[in-house]
Amino acid sequence: MGERVLYLDGSAGASGDMILAALVDLGVPLKELVAELDKLSVTGFRLIRSKAVRGGIHGTRIRVDAPDDRGHRHWADFERILKKSRLSKDIKARSLCLIYRVFEAEATVHGKSVEKIHLHELGALDTLVDVVGAVSGLELLGVDRVEASPLNVGSGWVDTEHGRLSVPAPATALLLKGVPVFADGDFERTTPTGALLVSAFAERFGPMPAMTITRLGYGLGTKDPPSGRPNALRLVLGETESRRSETVLVLETTIDDQTPEQLGFVQEQLLEADVLDVFLTPVMMKKNRPGTNVTVLVHPRGRDQATAILFRESTTLGVRTHAIEREVLERRIIAVRTRFGKVRVKEGLFGGKVVNVAPEFDDCRRIARAKKVSLKQVQQAAIVSYQTKGQTKGKR
């Protein structure tokens, strides 16, 4: 059994609402998506789903219905909302990282600090909903990896508070650094939020991988051009043949002049940036100086961001990088019922057979706190339930 792969066809462009709509059209339950967004504790908005047609393609539209949201336009507002939310640790960390990238891009374009930037074209609440919704949707879908086509940015001009700008807008172009793009169509095909999500989610850009297609989803944009490509983003869900090896990067640096607290902060920042792992190893350096070797394991797409964090947050003057091959088990996530509630369990498969089983820590921690029981009680209950096949409808 192979990997569960999501292929994003961006030949007509991408926006945050199109990605969200495509996930729902693909089969992510809107009710579960709304339940995740409710954890933000932001009131006064709702998601409106509708069916529509663009260029003969039937698909889904998602619109955020909300009053004026001027109070949530600065980075500090987003940070406060997300940190106080009831989202899982992983979704919260990834959403924070993604939205910060938007502010970084805008700050670079306008020559200001992140703290002084407020969002214009993106729309504050729309951005929050699109980012958290897309991250949550991928989590609910349970895919192993995301790949994408080259992205259509469109052409022409877009009117902004700063005047008329050429397409792609400056912030969009920055967010698409390293992403293959092309221009077709006489309007803005890819928005800043669309650029952000595609560049963050996709591990590889190119043609659709060899896989067995299981589902399709179409997310429709607002505009309906009379000719040219239909304004529709397509998601293709499929399963590949079994794959057990991949290339990842190891970033290393050795530090002898920072405190454990400072190095702990470096580690936190790296983990929030969605690296695979970070570990700190005590070493003895030249002249008998004790030091710490910081090792970061990351996919190639995350190299620049991880390196930037090392330079910004540590005292290092250089980072060593080398590529390695790693063997990985096929992974599958299912949900089991316990007397405490539903817990996701991760299976590791080798040759089609389960060889490792582990309850998801975030689920167990959340339930343990809510039910006021020990963590190990919840973990043991999940394993017992798994062994007795107390499964709900799960995700592979």
> What CATH number is given to the structural domain containing 314?
3.30.70.1380
Same domain, 44 and 186: yes
Q: Do 308 and 276 share a domain, yes or no?
A: yes
The rounded mean pLDDT for the chain is 90
For residues 149 and 229, membership in a common domain is answered with yes
Whether 374 and 355 have beta carbons less than 8 Å apart is answered as: no
- pLDDT tens digits, residue range 271-303? 988 799 999 999 999 888 999 999 999 998 889
Secondary structure in 3-state letters for the chain: CCCEEEEEECCCCECHHHHHHHHHHHCCCHHHHHHHHHCCCCCCCEEEEEEEEECCEEEEEEEEECCCCHHHCEHHHHHHHHHHCCCCHHHHHHHHHHHHHHHHHHHHHHCCCHHHCECCCCCHHHHHHHHHHHHHHHHHHCCCEEEECCEECECCEEEECCEEEECCCHHHHHHCCCCCEECCCCCECECHHHHHHHHHHCCEECCCCCCEEEEEEEEECCCCCCCCCCCEEEEEEEECCCCCEEEEEEEEEEECCCCHHHHHHHHHHHHHCCCCEEEEEEEECHHHCEEEEEEEEECHHHHHHHHHHHHHHCCCCCCEEEEEEEECCEEEEEEEEECCEEEEEEEEEECCEEEEEEECHHHHHHHHHHHCCCHHHHHHHHHHHHHCCCECCCEC
The residues with which 60 forms a beta bridge, in sequence order, are: 51, 219
Strands 204-205 and 145-148: parallel
Domain presence at residue 88: yes
pLDDT score for 396: 44
* Whether 230 and 249 share a structural domain: no
Q: Which of 15-19, 40-44, 322-326 has the lowest mean pLDDT?
A: 40-44
pLDDT of residue 36: 97
Residues 122 and 234 in one domain: yes
User: Is the per-residue pLDDT at 65 higher than 90?
Assistant: no
Longest pairwise C-alpha distance within the chain: 73
* Whether the predicted pLDDT of 122 surpasses 70: no
Domain boundary among 327, 342, 366: 327
pLDDT score recorded for residue 151: 97
Considering its fold, how many domains does the chain have in total? 3
**Cα gap 41→370, rounded to integer Å:** 18
Neighbours of 268 (CB within 10 A): 14
pLDDT tens-digit readout, 339-350: 999 999 999 888
Assigned domain for 221 exists: yes
Q: Are residues 104 and 208 in the same domain?
A: yes
pLDDT level of residue 394 (50, 70, 90 thresholds)? very low
Q: Do both 320 and 336 map to the same domain? A: no
Could you tell me the pLDDT band of residue 121, with boundaries at 50, 70 and 90?
Answer: very low
**Tens digit of pLDDT for each residue in 314-337?**
999 999 999 998 888 888 889 999
How crowded is the C-beta side of 338, counted as CA atoms within 13 Å?
A: 24
Residue 84 domain flag: yes
Question: What are phi and psi for residue 185, nearest 5 degrees?
Answer: 110, 150
Instruction: Judge whether 395 lies within some domain.
Output: no
Q: Which two tokens stand for residue 120?
A: 């214009």
136-140, 156-160, 180-184, 221-225, range with the lowest pLDDT: 156-160
Q: What is the mean pLDDT of residues 217-236?
A: 91
Residues 226, 267 within the same domain: no
Give the neighbor-by-neighbor strand order of the sheet with 245-255.
277-284, 290-298, 245-255, 320-327
Question: Is the domain of 235 the same as that of 289?
Answer: no
pLDDT value for 68 = 60
- The residue out of 194, 223, 239 marking a domain boundary is 239
pLDDT in tens, 155-211: 998 887 767 888 999 999 999 998 999 999 889 999 999 999 999 999 899 999 888
Tell me the pTM: 0.66
- Out of 327, 344, 379, pick the residue that ends a domain: 327
Instruction: Tell me whether residue 394 is in a domain.
Output: no
* Together in a domain, 267 and 346: no
Q: Would residue 205 count as lying in a domain?
A: yes
Q: Is pLDDT at 84 greater than 80 in this prediction?
A: yes
pLDDT in the model for residue 242: 58
Query: Could you tell me the residue range of the domain that residue 302 belongs to?
Result: 245-327
Under 8 Å between Cβ of 62 and 230: no
Q: How far apart are CA 199 and CA 53, in angstroms?
A: 27
Q: Is residue 396 part of a domain?
A: no
> In terms of domains, do 109 and 194 share one?
yes
In a domain, 392, yes or no: no
Closest CA to 66 of 85, 82, 83, 42: 42
Do 222 and 257 belong to one domain? Answer: no
